[in-house]
Structure 1
């Protein structure tokens, strides 16, 4: 009886580890949008100069197959699953696509990475990391429990993670970042508008502001630190509403303290052409060169 059970177990494990291998190439001459839907696994997307889509990888053993719909200006790629099955290791795909085509993605237990895309990235996953490099135009992405990393990109940025760390660098006209309990790190250059929202995680921003830039950094209990590159030309308004401290290492201006352990500091740095607002409820604030 034990031998039969062991044989059955071995057969089950062997079957569970096997998934359909994918190697497809699709010619696309007028493709504007690529849509990717993968319930779980890892998806790597790379932009190139060819007018074709190349898909390589292995499907989840619970997958029914890879569904592809070509509508001329749109191409839809979906890993079709057996109902709500949670068996298997996920579908791992590597997709090459025209760099001038925009991409939309969706996943649940899925991590995505994107490289060299010039027409925008938009989408969300629930339990997965997002890695983006050399993206242009608009990036609008979110995850619940994963980390987000964006490097060497430019354009307009909107990113959100509930529990993960958000880390981005590049040259953006506008950028918005939000986290609940994760940390926010940013290294920016010549930004026009930057807004961050955090609840309990720390926020650290480093970079040079454009003339007339608008920066607003907020948190509930997380500490906030801003480090300027070069001279800071901004009217600064800093506030910790209850119990936090304000440290100003740019000028000699000192914060005002109230009976309710509140600290405020308003001052002008340089020509005051920009605006820097940092507000936290119970966290601390620091600015430095």
Structure 2
């Protein structure tokens, strides 16, 4: 048959790093040690591991209804994008909903920077050392272990867990929890109902906002650092070192306030408490405010 005769030639003409649906993925592309890599997956799972090779490898399984997958771009800027067949066409209204789950097992250079977009796909990143990490997720949990100058992770309902070290961190969820025991000098945390448990420092700039999620902080303030914590109904628990040097202003409208720094004052009539005090030489500024949530501030080592 003529088709069989031309099949080897057709295979050779396929783009580098190309795979069909319903087959295991095994794609490789050269990459610079500090390449920027953009990854998108709607359904399934994404696992990213850093290695000491100047190349990107994609394994896993492409879901039914997905377009053939390619690794596109140059060695410095690479894109891995899972799309439904007919993506963008007017006949493909429900293409992404009908698409099966795709599992991506990706290896990247250790110094790479990542931009990852997932919808209903859990994400795991491990071993990045030196590159920035930017994540957007809808419902999948996010787990990241990295040494990075900057991490930004935004999730709607999935939990965000970060370990390693980040000099700058911006972590946001709606209903998911935030767990990050080692955050660096600049921190921005936001959640609606998720619990926040973080540590690290010394913090030069620390901002936290929550509606109903409880907060647990353990860390140190940098010289002349600023910390701001705002909660509506969530309880706030903060542990700061004995060597703290800062002005502290803490207030609750109806919640209970207990502290190892100074003595709170309470109104003669009605609930709530206020603390205005100075710890050490008062170089920094700490502002904590809740509406109905309790506040507890403890001295630590």
TM bucket, shorter chain: 0.7 to 0.9
1:229 to 221, 226, 241: 241
Is the CA contact (8 Å cut-off) linking 1:31 and 1:75 kept in structure 2? no
What SS is found at the alignment partner of 1:181? coil
1:278 to 283, 288, 291: 288
- The answer on 1:52 being equivalent to 2:55 is yes
Alpha-carbon spacing, 1:258–1:175, altered in 2? closer, same or farther (3 Å):
farther
Deviation at 1:163, TM superposition (A): 0.2
Deviation at 1:85, TM superposition (A): 3.9
Alpha-carbon spacing, 1:90–1:271, altered in 2? closer, same or farther (3 Å):
same
Give 1:130's aligned residue. Answer: 142
Runs (5+) with no aligned partner, structure 1? 1-17
Alpha-carbon spacing, 1:72–1:88, altered in 2? closer, same or farther (3 Å):
closer
1:33-84 Cα offsets, whole Å, 9 max, x none, are 1000101111111222211001111111232221321234211101121343
Deviation at 1:169, TM superposition (A): 1.9
Is the CA contact (8 Å cut-off) linking 2:30 and 2:75 kept in structure 1? no
Distance between the aligned counterparts of 1:59 and 1:131, measured in 2?
22
Is the CA contact (8 Å cut-off) linking 2:185 and 2:201 kept in structure 1? no
What SS is found at the alignment partner of 1:86? helix
Deviation at 1:258, TM superposition (A): 5.2
Deviation at 1:89, TM superposition (A): 5.3
Deviation at 1:95, TM superposition (A): 0.8
Q: How does 1:53-202 map to 2 (within 5 A)?
A: 53-82=56-85, 83=92, 84-87=95-98, 90-117=101-128, 118-202=130-214
Alpha-carbon spacing, 1:168–1:230, altered in 2? closer, same or farther (3 Å):
same
Is the CA contact (8 Å cut-off) linking 1:256 and 1:263 kept in structure 2? yes
What SS is found at the alignment partner of 2:83? strand
Distance between the aligned counterparts of 2:296 and 2:64, measured in 1?
51
Is the CA contact (8 Å cut-off) linking 1:239 and 1:280 kept in structure 2? yes
Cα RMSD after superposing both structures: 1.8
1:263 to 251, 265, 273: 273
TM-score when scaled to structure 2? 0.84
The aligned length equals: 270
1:26 to 6, 29, 37: 29
Distance between the aligned counterparts of 1:191 and 1:25, measured in 2?
40
Query: Which deviates more, 120-129 or 87-96?
Result: 87-96
Distance between the aligned counterparts of 1:258 and 1:129, measured in 2?
47
Distance between the aligned counterparts of 2:268 and 2:35, measured in 1?
57
Distance between the aligned counterparts of 2:124 and 2:161, measured in 1?
9
Distance between the aligned counterparts of 1:262 and 1:87, measured in 2?
53
